[in-house]
Amino acid sequence: MIEPHSAKPPLPPGIYGITAEKYSRGRSTDQVVRAMIDGGILIIQYREKRPVKSFAVMLEECREIRRLTREAGVLFIVNDYADIARLVDADGVHVGQDDLPVPAVRELIGPDKLIGLSTHNPEQAAAAVLAGADYIGVGPIFATTTKEDVCLPVGLEYLEHVVRCCPLPFVAIGGIKEHNLGQILQRGAKTVCLVTEIVGAEDIAATVGRLQAAIKGSG
């Protein structure tokens, strides 16, 4: 088993923020990120895709987000694009099962950056440990339309398995809303991602603050 590198920052508890301009009520990505930071989020992932956005646009957005997160002491993760993450000196990369494998991403970004891997079943969680992932995504817990070509919901059973059996830090994700957040927290999740509930909120900072307080209160 490949052990996580000790120099890397830990996955912070609380809300794991993810950008999703499609659901952001006309607000730009950097506006959403500023509001997330104002609400107290400690980790933000940039998840925008081609062909909706060009590589040039995504690079410039990531440069600005890197500036904002660095000033605020917030971790910055880039979804999928290890090349962009390296160019902007992001804190890590998050990949899916059909993206570049974790060892290849490690070659591109070096030993001191975080690599997250989306997983959907116990076998993938075990493989993530062996591959050298630093943390895993666990989900989608509930049905979600935020991400295209997503697999069927894995349910709470897989979350319970990860809490019991996986040594890696994890983020619970997929269809999580304020009304079902308690079900996730009751089963031991410490880091949770709510996408549309946050980026689509009228007041993002206030929503983040309320959700952060709920997570902190559960532990």
Indicate which residues carry an active-site annotation.
47, 118, 147
Distance between start and end Cα atoms, the chain:
30
Give the separation between CA 15 and CA 43, rounded to whole angstroms: 8
Q: Which residue in this structure is represented by tokens 């991403």?
A: 105
The SS3 of residue 192 is: strand
Give the separation between CA 195 and CA 79, rounded to whole angstroms: 14
